[in-house]
Structure 1
Amino acid sequence: MQRRIRNSAIIGLTLIVLLSGCGQAKTPAQGSGSQTQTPVTQPTPTPAPTPAVPESKQLKIKVYYGDENAEKLVEQEASITYKEDSDKYAAALKALTASPDSKNLALLKGFTFNSVALKNGTLTVDVSMAPESRLGSGGEAMLLEAMKKTVFQFSEIQSLDILLDGKAVDSLMGHMDLPHPMKRG
């Protein structure tokens, strides 16, 4: 029985010694055997990195509108904003949908760009247009010329293919032939 009490006491003392050492920082001895404790600092948690948001880029380009009599194209300088380089073509075309002043006509007013994609030098533009967007033959010719002049100022674009609601049509508004694709020239 004494042996059992002695073993229990040894185990108990061992546990007390082990548990009393938990959570305390070990410090090196300094000077003549005296020990000083350095405060334990908790590391500050580092915030999780947030995904990088691409910064907006700006570019000055030339855009084309119809004059107030809808007889000729008028060139104006505009500034477009985009995030990715592949978005600059859509931003350039969207600039044609609204005129900055009342003297010039936005030839693409009422147009929606479903997709704009560059592949192997060909810019494919899929548009939808509202019924009120339809122009006469002169307006349609100016619209196509405005789109070509706007996109062909980007040297990487060699041809332009315009689709209407995802389909290659013979004419955008029924007046002018619409080649697939239109070549730079």
Structure 2
Amino acid sequence: MKNKKWWGLAAIVLSISVVTACGAKPTTNAGQPGVPPTEVQPDQSDSNPQTPNQEEPANQEREKQEQSITAYVSDSDLMGLKSYSAKIQFADDEEKYKQALKALQTSDHPEDIPLWKKIEFKSVKFSDGTLTIDIRIPADARLGAGGESFAIEALTKTLFQFDEIHAVDVLVDGQAAESLMGHVTLEHPFHRE
């Protein structure tokens, strides 16, 4: 009798987990179509201050480069990282890094979990081989120890594809935090292995 109760309780917990996970997936899908417009909007705002000179925006658009990178997300069970190819467009190195970070916030497959989806990238600065990223982590973006570890691994694997980046320093609200989300120690900075 007790065994049946435990199986019933396990089935209920599993059902709630599946329903909760499925409820979060449309948000992932809904965010995907929004990615290309956000990539275009910064370019348009960059060109707005230059409206007196009409040739410069056209030149900037022609100078945009496209590159395929590998971005990383978690599988649906948060048991491991999966990679996918993402195309990014950029006019300069700073924009290239921002686009790579945006690639970490989306996925081509609705069953995958973009570990950086809800995290806000406040600033990105590159100097002397070190990329410094300042982030803000909303309460609903926090992950468990495994998810946090995968998030850091996804970030470093994605950014270390660029040969010029030798180290990545992650700041939380401008501070060199001890931990990203309370579980995994942050190195300041992470160095290429």
* Structure 1 length-normalised TM: 0.72
Counterpart in the other structure of 1:74: 82
Q: Distance in 1 between matches of 2:140 and 2:117?
A: 9
- What letter matches 1:52 in structure 2? E
The one-letter amino acid paired with 1:173 is M
Partner amino acid for 1:50? Q
Which residue is equivalent to 1:50? 54
Q: Which runs of 5+ in 2 are unaligned?
A: 1-51
| Aligned-CA RMSD value | 1.3
The ranges of structure 1 where at least 4 consecutive aligned residues each deviate by more than 6 angstroms after the TM superposition are none
- Look up the match of 1:31: none
2:109 match: 101
Unaligned runs of 5+ in 1: 1-47
Once residues 129 and 184 of structure 1 are traced to their aligned partners in structure 2, the CA distance between those partners, rounded to angstroms, is 24
Q: Tell me what 1:119 maps to.
A: 127
Instruction: Using the TM superposition, give the Cα deviation of residue 103 of structure 1 relative to its aligned residue in structure 2, in angstroms.
Output: 2.0
Larger Rg: 1
For 1:162, the equivalent position in structure 2 comes to 170
What residue in structure 1 maps to residue 158 of structure 2?
150
Query: Aligned residue for 2:147?
Result: 139
RCO greater where, 1 or 2, for CA within 8 Å and sep 6 or more?
Answer: 2
Count of matched residue positions in the alignment of Structure 1 and Structure 2: 138
Identity between Structure 1 and Structure 2 (%): 40
Normalized per residue, which structure has more strand? 1
Give the distance between the partners of 2:165 and 2:134, measured in 1 at CA. 16
Question: 3-state SS of the aligned residue for 2:104?
Answer: helix
Q: In structure 1, what is the equivalent of residue 15 of structure 2?
A: none
1:118-148 Cα offsets, whole Å, 9 max, x none, are 1000000001121111000000000000000
Letter in 2 for 1:86: E
2 CA distance for matches of 1:85 and 1:143? 23
TM-score using structure 2 length: 0.69
**Which residue of structure 2 aligns with residue 65 of structure 1?**
73
